[in-house]
Structure 1
Amino acid sequence: MKSGDVVGGRYLIRRKLGEGGMSFVYLAEDLLLGRNVAIKVLREPYADDEQFRRRFLREAQAVSLLSHPNIVTLFDTGTHDGAPYLVFEYVPGRTLKEEIRARGPLPLDEVLSIGDQVLRALAHAHNRGIVHRDVKPHNILLTADGTAKVSDFGIARALGGETLTESGTFLGSAHYFSPEQAKGETITPASDLYAFGVVLYEMLTGDLPFAGDSPVTVALKHVEASPPSVRERRPEVPVALENVVRRAMAKRPENRYPTAEAMRLDLASSLDPARRKELPWEEPGSDPFDTATWTRPFSEHASEKPGSPPTPGAGRESGAGRVMRVLRRPPVWGTVLALAFLFSLWWGIRALSAPFQVPEKEVPHVVGMTREEALRALEQAGFARVDTREETSDEVEAGRVIAQDPPAGTRLKTTASVLLTLSLGPNKVSVPDVRGLSLEVAKSRLTDFAEVRTEEEFSDTVPVGLVIRQIPAGGAEVVTKQTTVTLVVSKGPKETTMPDVVGRSLEEARVLLARAGFNPDPKVEREKSYFPAGSVIRAWPYQAGEKAAPGTKVTLFVSDGLLPDAVEVHYPVTVLPQGSEPVDVRISVSDARFTDHTVIRETVNGAKTYEVLLVLAPGKDGLLRVYQDGVLVLSQAIPYAEAKHGDTSGGNGGASSPPSPSGDASPLLPP
């Protein structure tokens, strides 16, 4: 695939944007809708490999279920020369990884803004059974207005079925592995939250929590090591914000946030003044105040030498008598003082640590209860701190508990908080806006709705096959399983205008005809002409600008090569602007093919050279005209006789250059 290729009959390749291990990414123009898109194409070595094709197309299946402002949109899919491709929205800007490399630690409010958007995207995906599996700053795109978009669901799949490991190989990036991912265990939404916890750590400190000489070394650290403190590297980070990172990066999935939405809400409030005195979060099961290794029992015979027998009759002597007997012995005063000091130290440690010896109790099962019932059950079990959040549910009636964190049966300190997720009732979602999309793509965005109906009508403004309007309108909040969406699809105009296809490639001409509502005849007539091989010579039965009914068949005549007396001339022209203002350039030619036909029209900001093609023939000399901001600045005649003998420099003969127009730019001149 190269610049100038037309993919799928509508996407004109402009340039390569980048490449990954399995695919290339190109910038292309959608000729049908006149917008830029990004096309990801599977590399040739993998295109014939069934395993890689399945993995690549898995991305399309996953992303087609997603429609969210913080997720890169999938527009179309197809196959080009045997290689599958995906068409995405083009997102100008740079990745979060590039932003961190350029700026280092990000401002706290910016961290919260990006975090909020990414977690909304993950929540949207998780609610539809999709786990990203490769969350990292390289896959988070940032636009100039601060919008964050999650990209590259290349190894995502619907939940359920086999585990992540395939042929013993870990998928993802080692620096952002969750412990379960590093061990090759089943991946869940909690794995995405761990990976994003690493991303938060990197945004806050500018560094990764774990480094190593190899991916295996880094992965092992995710399993075994605790990450360095964020606040040690950046003291101004509040404890509450560091707690979000600590909980997201908990080693055990059940100790992390229950959902991306729960993590988003906690992150959003992490800078609130009310949370300034929050204690550091500790993963359940760890006890920083455990004094088991600090104390040891004292023996009555601690002062005796090892192996020496007890004093006869010691068992019958009272405690007071033993103390007095010891005190009467001057040589053992040092031992007594040492024992007294150790006893005081032991007693002090116990006294200081007593307030921190918080009892652990088993969390009761409260899922399905009303809010009041759940709070009462938790209070009776000894848990006074209860946080709540709300979430829509199609299965659980409003006001009842959908989920709890931690789950029932977990042993938890009674001072810890229990999070309850309460139902808001049936799930209401925003209807996707599918206007301007093809019917096939529009339907793929509406698979969750009860029914999708279609109607057709004529339109002078919307191309054939695209959605004109929808009912309900995009953005309306509805219950998906109870809503029927009606799509009104364009049949094109009642009367359409024949486009100018002469000089175009066959593929471009067919796209233009289809967009205008005509039916290109698959059968093509070929003949020798003054047009290069493959170019359209003329169309029948209509010429450019004529009116016809939509659906009219048009036959295209295509050049089979130049006639023997034709001469091709490639004439160079250079523009040399002097100032910083852009210059509108138009170049027209008259030759054996055209009369005053515009071949180039664009705006330039600096020096640029064009190579203009003219085809000359006996009695059909060439004339090249160059306009700058609408003013003729060069008129160059190119006689057939001179071109036939190889003299196409133009010289002074036949050339007429009008005076340079006023302004900062110089006239366009031949080099």
Structure 2
Amino acid sequence: MEAGKKLGGRYKIVRHIGSGGMANVYLGHDLILDRPVAIKVLRFDFRNNTDALRRFQREALSATQLIHPNIVGVYDVDEEDELQYIVMEFIDGTDLKKYIDIQGRVLPEKAIHIMHQVLSAVALAHKNRIIHRDIKPQNILIDNQDRIKITDFGIAVALSETSITQTNTLLGSVHYLSPEQARGSMATSKSDIYALGVVLYELLSGSVPFDGESAVSVALKHFQEPMPSIRESHPEIPQSLENVILKATAKEPLDRYATCEEMMADLDTCLREERRNEAPFMPVSLLQETKVLTPLSAEVVAKADIEKTIISPPQSVKTEAIHEFEPGREAAGGKKKRKKWLFFLFTVFLLSLIGSFFLFFYNNQEADAVTVPDVSNMDQASARLALEDVGLVLGNITEEYNEEIEEDAVIETSPKIGSSVAAGDEIDLIISLGEELFTLLDYEGQEYERVFEDLRKEGFTIERTHEFSSEVAEGNIISQNIEPGTEVKPGETTLSFLVSDGNESYTMRDLSGYTRKSVEDYAGQYGLSLTITEAYSDTIAAGLVVSQSLAGGSAFVSGDALSVVISKGPEEPQVVSFSRTITIPYLPAAVSESASESNNGQGSENANSNANVSSTSNEPNHIVIYVQDEDHTLSDVFREFDISADEVVTLNFRILEGSSASYRIERDGEVISEASELTQ
């Protein structure tokens, strides 16, 4: 059954979690009560099997009658599209068999804690007149808090129904089978107690008490061999606890605990100090005095044989009485009549003698004829013994596949069963090879629907789960649960296929504001092929996404290409260098002198003639230059020097691209040249 399917419009299948003899179990979700549930669905190949259907329905009926904290609760029972299913409480844990395999044998205190819960649950079933009949660790669930839940009442029956037996059918697991069930007797509540004793033995020792190569050999040990002593291999276990096992598993039901409550009470006190060294348990039946039967004497036997011999008296012939009425003629006539009667009687006797002879001869002939016995469904050894018992000889053995007759059992004989043959004749047997094995192929990559149809025709039960895959095309098989090349019986095999849903489609996020690391994580999560470039941005901070090739909100699949531009922040402008050549003119200083000062008392004529004459001097000009660019400001002196003649200077400027430079030149404190907005 596929994940996602809904049963009853309420229970959604999540996944397959296990299979049993006649049903598959799924983890489901109750959409109304929003809780996990276990859904047991009758297998497809059992839907037309009335016995299996009746057993499945019986499980549902039995479980719904039992409400107990240590019994798996049943929530619902229904049918949909010929699917019979039971909705049960989901237990998040494992069964006791796997628990023992993983943890090993448990300590006595813990074993008693577990058994107390099991006994409490079985006691309730017995009070409701229900026998489980299949108590074993596989049907006892345990969660992480060591809470116990008993499940699988599939072969449980009410006490009033136990008089009805199933011919040639052995219900229950043979390792936990009571002696009376192994002998073919009906199960009782004490049969469950026997199984509980075996479970306790396995908890304490880590293994079952009886094991063998076949189910028959194990069953024989249950009623022929004594229960092994657990103290021989584990002497630390007190005798009082072993006594609980011995009493629960006594061969005779009368020697066992009368009820589960009685066994529970014994367990509750078995670890007390005063009981630890009590005497080993001995069944009452073994303590009774042995009766010796006196052999019969030969005379008594002979007398008994004589008394038992039945002697049949010869069958008399009824004759008619002859009356004599007359002494003469009538008497003569009477003599003639008597002669006729005597002749008649002789004839009858002779015919009887001849008939007896032929009857004796025929019986001897029939004694040499033998009817071929019904040896169908027997194994070869049993069939040979059955033939030899009637005086026949085993002939040739041929083998053929047969879906109805189990492997190694007789299908038919030649001559046919029931035929009349002579003693000593050979009888050929046709032995079943069982259901013909099917060799599984490698179905990975193949189209599921085609494989499904082919395998269903072979009798397989097919289950499908699915997931997205970028490597396998939609509708094709990703994997299978059983390895290729495995030989299996189709009617007993459930194949599970994981089928591809193709590439999963996702919705692209708006990656604005994502860092490089976040983008890489996102691409890795969804399997995107990522390319990252960087660019300057005046609006997006450095290190964050500027743009993406797949727009936010668009659909994509794993493997698609995604290109993302990451901001480097605003771009810094380039520094531009240029120069200007400027000529700074020299300006001599002017000098004015009076005649008296220049001639120092000379004649008045000379004085008068030079009184108003002016002259120049060669004193230097003081030059100060100011520059405004990337490296200087107009408030700071760029250069300062003196000149005595015209001077040519070159001013070098460094400005950012898009900006400008300025300069100002002063001569002896007076601005003689300036310029602004200078660019390259």
Give the TM-score normalised by the residue count of structure 2.
0.45
Give the TM-score normalised by the residue count of structure 1.
0.46
Which structure carries more helix by proportion?
2
